[in-house]
């Protein structure tokens, strides 16, 4: 039968009968469904995102008839008032008006506004400079809203970075590739600490110290500049997180930044709170103002470049201007922990840490190139952390919630754990990748040699969560001795452990103009001089005290050369070094026979299973014995010269401990 326009009529009765038959048989292949309940595309998009339900159970108020339950809305307002107080200028009546949510999603944040908070009370000044107090006034910033993107998830931060930050890309493995701008590393010469009365007495100042002073007025000038910049933006990222996995000694930190890259970096590197912990977070113990996209004022006192990284221990604040390198935040907080933790009789350490299946913990200290990451990453042991730790009366704990790994020349074969950790959620800094496939070329140094990956520690398969462990049994000091005169392994007494811990030795190989390569001795106090706040002997004394109290043994392990200096001898084979580390872990070396070396007076074992006995005493591997003795004395002289800056420092009331440490050094 034809339709009026001449086309054949479509017969649907057959299809309807077939569908009915299928329904009768209990089978239906029809994938149609009811239309969506959205009136427009925006409403459909809003339905796509499910609002996160609070995971915190309602607190039982039946125990107290006077207890007042805090509503979810009130809790959010308190949270925003706290953030407003953090962003408050010290020269204005109130903090900024802050509102939750992305300004690009208008209408979402209307009900999440908090009244502006009063500025924090002025802190007592501990310096003797007299400055006119600024007049409190109202500014244009008080008339606008500052949108707060609070503790965003990695997925949300990816969206922000890709949309708003040039140079952000998703790599083939799902990591977020970012650029840190002109600065691709830390700026230690632009890092300053307020020298108030307390800091003048407690911190290490002068020759050899990493601490460069500034006064409080200059800090407040830079703080004002940073806060004004952040308040001028449509939105800021706020992270409330923790440092230190030891629940009794954790620190609450707040990071306020202008970039999604910085927020995701700190999301990975700090300990991530639960929803319940966030709701009761309250006032932070320390706050970072990262205005790194904005330069400091070169006319400001103490400023020597457009970059300034400033720490005020009295105010518990850190200000970053003129550098977008994210590592400044990580290492700035590490420096703060080097100040706060010793006040609680807790030793802060720049070390790797792992634990055997039987609960035996080892600490690994070592500068770049010594094998700290390689040797502390052991598939037969659990990883507590790769870089920053605390040793308290409760045992050892990781300070961080993530890892910050070097990526230059990274390969799946050499570092499988790091390779596999570079996936969704990981931040890749300054790497180069194929513009089409997004495959990263880890050998490419076009942007910088200091390419990095920041990822949560749980991305490592054998990470121990929570990242805590019992008291260490072994303290391993690693040195890559390019002079070739240190033994592959030595057992240290307490005084020797303190001496070599304070020295922080390794030797690098550097090219000279005429092409000859000579070893260069490098010393970094406590294996992390750039981050310590107190005098190195204070950390060394705490280390010796804890080792003595809890029965830990110190070891010096040379991962460098044997049979001659660099260019003459050969590097000690990694399998031999692993056998040595295994013998330390197992306790085999505690019962070994030992002999003492000349000059350095080190105790070296006469035999280790799986390691050729002839390499255990370095003199055996040198063909030219006179050259060995000459090189040994040269290195001993370099140790002595480096230690001169520490020799006059007294620990406690007398100099007994200092003399004991000095006596443990090499005899020239």
d(CA 580, CA 358): 19
d(CA 556, CA 495): 13
Concatenating the DSSP letter of every residue in 422-442 gives -STT-EEES-EE-TTT--EET
| CA 553 from centroid of its chain's CA atoms | 27
Tokens 């006995």 correspond to 613
Tokens of 328: 């400044």
Rounded to 10 deg, the angle between the 536-550 and 494-503 helix axes is 150
d(CA 295, CA 11): 75
Sign of CA dihedral 128, 134, 140, 146: positive
d(CA 141, CA 232): 7
Helix (H), strand (E) at residue 332: helix 327-340
- CA geometry: angle at 225 spanning 213 and 325, to 5°? 70
Question: Strand ranges (DSSP E) for 157-249?
Answer: 169-170, 176-178, 191-194, 213-214, 235-243
Calculate Rg over the CA atoms of the chain. Answer: 30
586: nearest Cα among 300, 327, 378: 378
Q: Which residues contact 99 (CB under 8 A, 6 or more apart)?
A: 80, 109, 112, 113, 114, 145, 146, 147, 148
Give the catalytic positions in this structure.
186, 331, 350, 368, 372-373, 387, 452
Helices (H), 587-624: none
Respond yes or no on whether the N-terminal peptide bond of residue 466 is cis (omega within 30° of 0): yes
């Amino acid at each position: 039968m034809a339709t009026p326009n001449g086309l054949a009529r479509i017969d649907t009765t057959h299809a309807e009968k077939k569908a009915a038959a299928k329904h009768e048989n209990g089978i239906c292949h029809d994938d149609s469904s009811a239309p969506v309940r959205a009136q427009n595309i925006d409403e459909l998009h809003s339905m796509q995102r499910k609002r996160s339900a609070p995971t915190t159970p309602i607190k039982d108020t039946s125990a107290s008839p006077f207890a007042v339950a805090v509503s979810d809305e009130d809790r959010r307002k308190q949270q925003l008032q706290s953030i407003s107080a953090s962003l408050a200028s010290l020269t204005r009546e109130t903090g900024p008006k802050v509102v939750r949510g992305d300004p690009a999603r208008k209408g979402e944040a209307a009900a999440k506004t908090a009244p502006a908070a009063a500025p924090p009370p002025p802190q007592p000044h501990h310096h003797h400079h007299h400055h006119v107090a600024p007049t409190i006034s109202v500014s244009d910033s008080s008339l606008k809203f500052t949108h707060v993107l609070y503790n965003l998830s990695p997925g949300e931060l990816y969206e922000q970075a890709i949309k708003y930050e040039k140079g952000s890309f998703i790599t083939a493995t799902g990591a977020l590739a970012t650029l840190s701008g002109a600065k691709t590393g830390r700026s230690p010469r632009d890092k300053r600490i307020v020298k108030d009365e307390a800091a003048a007495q407690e911190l290490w100042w002068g020759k050899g110290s990493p601490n460069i002073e500034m006064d409080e007025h200059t800090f407040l000038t830079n703080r004002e500049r940073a806060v004004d910049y952040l308040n001028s933006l449509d939105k800021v990222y706020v992270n409330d997180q923790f440092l230190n996995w030891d629940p009794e000694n954790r620190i609450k930190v707040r990071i306020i930044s202008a970039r999604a890259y910085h927020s995701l970096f700190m999301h990975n590197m700090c300990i991530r709170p639960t929803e319940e912990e966030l709701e009761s977070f309250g006032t932070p113990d320390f706050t970072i103002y990262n205005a790194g996209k904005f330069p400091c004022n070169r006319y400001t006192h103490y400023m020597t470049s457009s970059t300034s990284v400033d720490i005020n221990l009295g105010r518990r604040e850190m200000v970053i201007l003129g550098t977008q390198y994210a590592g400044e935040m990580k290492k700035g907080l590490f420096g703060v922990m080097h100040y706060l933790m010793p006040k609680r009789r807790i030793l802060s350490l720049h070390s790797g840490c792992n634990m055997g299946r039987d609960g035996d913990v080892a600490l690994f200290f070592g500068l770049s190139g010594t094998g700290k990451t390689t040797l502390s990453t052991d598939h037969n042991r659990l990883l507590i952390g790769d870089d920053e730790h605390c040793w308290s009366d409760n045992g050892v704990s990781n300070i961080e919630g993530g890892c910050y790994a070097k990526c230059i020349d990274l390969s799946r074969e050499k570092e499988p754990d790091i390779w596999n950790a570079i996936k969704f959620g990981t931040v890749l800094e300054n790497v180069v990748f194929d513009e089409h496939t997004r495959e990263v070329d880890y050998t490419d140094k076009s942007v910088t040699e200091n390419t990095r990956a920041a990822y949560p520690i749980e991305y490592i398969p054998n990470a121990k969560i929570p990242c805590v462990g019992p008291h260490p049994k072994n303290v391993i000091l690693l040195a890559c001795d390019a002079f070739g005169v240190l033994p592959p392994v030595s057992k240290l007494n307490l005084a020797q452990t303190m001496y070599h811990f304070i020295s922080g030795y390794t030797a690098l190989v550097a090219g000279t103009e005429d092409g000859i390569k000579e070893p260069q001795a490098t010393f970094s106090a406590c294996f992390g001089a750039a981050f310590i706040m107190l005098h190195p002997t204070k950390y060394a004394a705490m280390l010796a005290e804890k080792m003595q109290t809890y029965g830990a043994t110190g070891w010096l392990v040379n991962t460098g050369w044997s049979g001659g200096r660099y260019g003459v001898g050969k590097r000690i084979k990694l399998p031999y070094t692993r056998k040595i580390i295994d013998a330390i872990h197992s306790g085999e070396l505690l019962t070994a026979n030992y002999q003492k070396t000349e000059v350095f007076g080190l105790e070296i074992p006469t035999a280790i299973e799986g390691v050729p006995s002839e390499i255990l005493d370095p003199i055996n591997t040198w063909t030219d014995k006179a050259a060995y003795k000459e090189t040994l004395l040269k290195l001993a002289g370099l140790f002595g010269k480096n230690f001169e800056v520490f020799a006059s420092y007294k620990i406690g009331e007398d100099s007994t401990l200092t003399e004991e440490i000095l006596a443990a050094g090499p005899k020239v």
